[in-house]
Each structure stands twice: as C-alpha cells, then as structure tokens.
Amino acid sequence: MEEASGKQRRSGLAIVGMIIGILALLTSLMPFVNNISFFVALIGAALAIAGMVSCARGKRAGKGLAGIAVAVNVVAVAAVLMSQSMYGAAVDDAMNGPQAVQSSEGDGKREDGEPKPADELAIGSKVELENGLSVTVNEVAPGLVKYDGTEVTRVNVTYENNGDEPVSFSSYDWKGENETGVRSDTTYFDGEENAISYGDLSVGGSVSGNIYFDGTLSKVLYFSSPIADDPAVTWTVA
C-alpha cells in the first residue's frame, strides 16, 4: 500500500523526538524537575536527529518535523541550563545573606582614592548592607581576663536599621579570627557588660553592645546569614 500510494510514512523517531522535546520544554523551568528534563531533552534531540537522518536517506517523510524537533529539544536544554543558573544564584544569595554596598571610614577611601573593600576595613568603619542595615565595629579591647585566667577580647558593635523593614540581629552574627587564621564564635565572659544578645531591630532603630572572644584577635568578621560560608564584612585589628 505504501508503494502503491507513492507516499512515505512520517518518521516515528521525529514524532517521538518532538513529543519528548515539548515535554522537556514545558518542565525546563521547574526547580528539581528540570534536572530530569535536561536528560529527557538530550534523548529527544538524539531521536530527532536519527529521524532526520532517516528522512535524508529517503526512508521516511517528515524532514521538516525532525528539524523542528531538534530545535525544540535544543531550546529545552538551553532553558534548563539558564533556569538552573538563575536558581543557583538565588540560592547563593539566600545562603550568603545581604552583602556590603558601601562603607565609611573617615573619607572611606584608601590611599589610591578607591573605596575600601569590605574585607580590609579599620576599626570604627561603618558598613551598609543591601537590606539597609548598617554595622559598625566601634572598639576592640583585648586583655580582659576570665575567671579561669584565660584572656578575652571585648568587641563593641553597633547595628542601625536604615532599611524598609525590621531586621534581626544576634551575637552569633559575629566571629573572631586570630593571627593564625583560626575563627571562633563568641564566648561567655563572667564580667560582661551591655552584652549583645539577639532580637529584631525596627526601621530607624539602632542598638549597640559588646561581644566577647577568647584570646586576641587580628580580625572581626560579620556574617549576614547563619549559613554563609564567607563573612559579609571584615574589620582588621591594628
């Protein structure tokens, strides 16, 4: 019948490749699901290419359909890669928290006239974050002694909320780093005064207080997210 009618059947591979490509494209922007969509689109593209080869050899009709199927699957792969890059950046932003946008230290500039980066600030510098919160390390006072005779350093800090919504603050936002590069969390000091604990700071509000670290410090680090790997701001202790 096929020879008598002079018509060729459409390539089944091209049709299947098109269906797979459409499914992959429809799911390419869905988080997690698009991990599967990527491989589905690769399979669809392979089937469509095989169908195109079959059509080129004259065994089946539907060369145009096969070409469209290849294109749809390629677009699906590109959409998956683009969406995963976008979602990855959003996750990184959420994990790292608001980053520094500007700092002020006297004139806020280095000797070469450029603004100082947020990883080499002097004590007393104020840093504004993306969410409008400003943080300042006002003073670092080493030489305090615990009940057991170990040395403690007091750090006085200030939060100011110049943003549009309340923000939280906590002593756990901070870490100290000694001259060997060891980072440590805040410690309990039996003689502590005006210690920062935790809370929410309303718009326009400010709070100052002390945090304490064991030993002496070479750097004071502020983390704008509890799960951030790197500090948003670093002050260097002279």
pLDDT digits (tens, 9 = 90+) for 38-50: 999 999 999 999 9
In which band, very low, low, confident or very high, does the pLDDT at 76 lie, cut at 50, 70 and 90? very high
Are residue 125 and residue 92 in the same domain, yes or no?
no
Are residue 78 and residue 124 in the same domain, yes or no?
no
Are residue 144 and residue 124 in the same domain, yes or no?
yes
| DSSP secondary structure code for residue 165 in this structure | S
Are residue 109 and residue 89 in the same domain, yes or no?
no
Distances 3 to 7, 42, 59 between C-alpha atoms, Å: 7, 34, 12
Strand ranges (E), 58-132: 100-104, 121-122, 126-129
By residue range, what is the domain housing residue 31? 2-96
pTM of the model as a whole: 0.61
User: What is d(CA 66, CA 16) in angstroms, rounded to the nearest whole number?
Assistant: 10
The CATH number linked to 125 is: 2.60.40.1240
Are residue 190 and residue 119 in the same domain, yes or no?
yes
Residue bearing tokens 């976008």: 86
Q: Worst-scoring range by mean pLDDT, 121-125, 182-186, 222-226?
A: 222-226
Query: How many structural domains comprise the chain?
Result: 2
How crowded is residue 51: how many other Cβ atoms within 10 Å of its Cβ? 28
